[in-house]
Copies of this chain bind each other. A is one copy, B any other.
Amino acid sequence: MQSPRPRPRNLRLEVQYDGTGYHGWQIQPRLRTIQGELTRTLESIVREPVHVCGSGRTDAGTHALAQVCHFHTTSHMDSSSLWKALNSRLPATIRVTGIEQVAADFHARRHARTKHYRYRILNTPWCPPFEYPYVHHFYRILDHEKLNRAAELVVGRQDFSAFCDAGSQARSKIRRVTSSLFVFDTRRKLLEYNVCADGFLHHMVRNLVGTFLEVGRGKLPVEAIPAILESKNRSRAGPTAPAKGLFLVRVFY
Interface-lining segment among A88-96, A157-165, A217-225: A88-96
Chain A 75-104 against B: per-residue CB contact (8 Å), 1 yes, 0 no?
Answer: 000000000000100001111010000000
B residues less than 8 Å from A126 (CB atoms)? 87, 95, 97
**How many identical chains are in the complex?**
2
B residues less than 8 Å from A129 (CB atoms)? 16-18, 63, 92-95
B residues less than 8 Å from A63 (CB atoms)? 129-130
Q: Once the chains are docked, how many angstroms separate the CA of A203 from the CA of B95? A: 30
Q: Once the chains are docked, how many angstroms separate the CA of A130 from the CA of B134? A: 8
Considering only CB atoms, which chain B residue lies closest to A17 in the complex?
A: B129
A107 to chain B, nearest CB (A): 26
Residue pair A95, B128 in contact (C-beta under 8 Å): yes
Asked if A138 is an interface residue, CB under 8 A from chain B, the answer is no
Considering only CB atoms, which chain B residue lies closest to A94 in the complex?
A: B129
Chain A 38-65 against B: per-residue CB contact (8 Å), 1 yes, 0 no?
Answer: 0000000000000000000000000100
Q: With A87-B126, A126-B87 in contact, do A132 and B16 touch (Cβ < 8 Å)?
A: no
A177 to chain B, nearest CB (A): 26
- Contact residue among B18, B87, B128 (Cβ-Cβ distance under 8 Å from A130): B18
Asked if A141 is an interface residue, CB under 8 A from chain B, the answer is no
Q: Once the chains are docked, how many angstroms separate the CA of A129 from the CA of B63? A: 10
Asked if A183 is an interface residue, CB under 8 A from chain B, the answer is no
A121 to chain B, nearest CB (A): 16
Asked if A31 is an interface residue, CB under 8 A from chain B, the answer is no
Residue pair B16, A128 in contact (C-beta under 8 Å): yes
A64 to chain B, nearest CB (A): 9
Interface residues of A (CB under 8 A from B): 16-18, 63, 87, 92-95, 97, 126-130, 132, 134
List 17 extra interface pairs beyond A63-B129, A92-B132, A95-B127, CB under 8 A. A16-B128, A16-B129, A17-B129, A18-B129, A18-B130, A18-B132, A63-B130, A87-B126, A92-B127, A92-B129, A93-B129, A93-B132, A94-B129, A95-B126, A95-B128, A95-B129, A97-B126
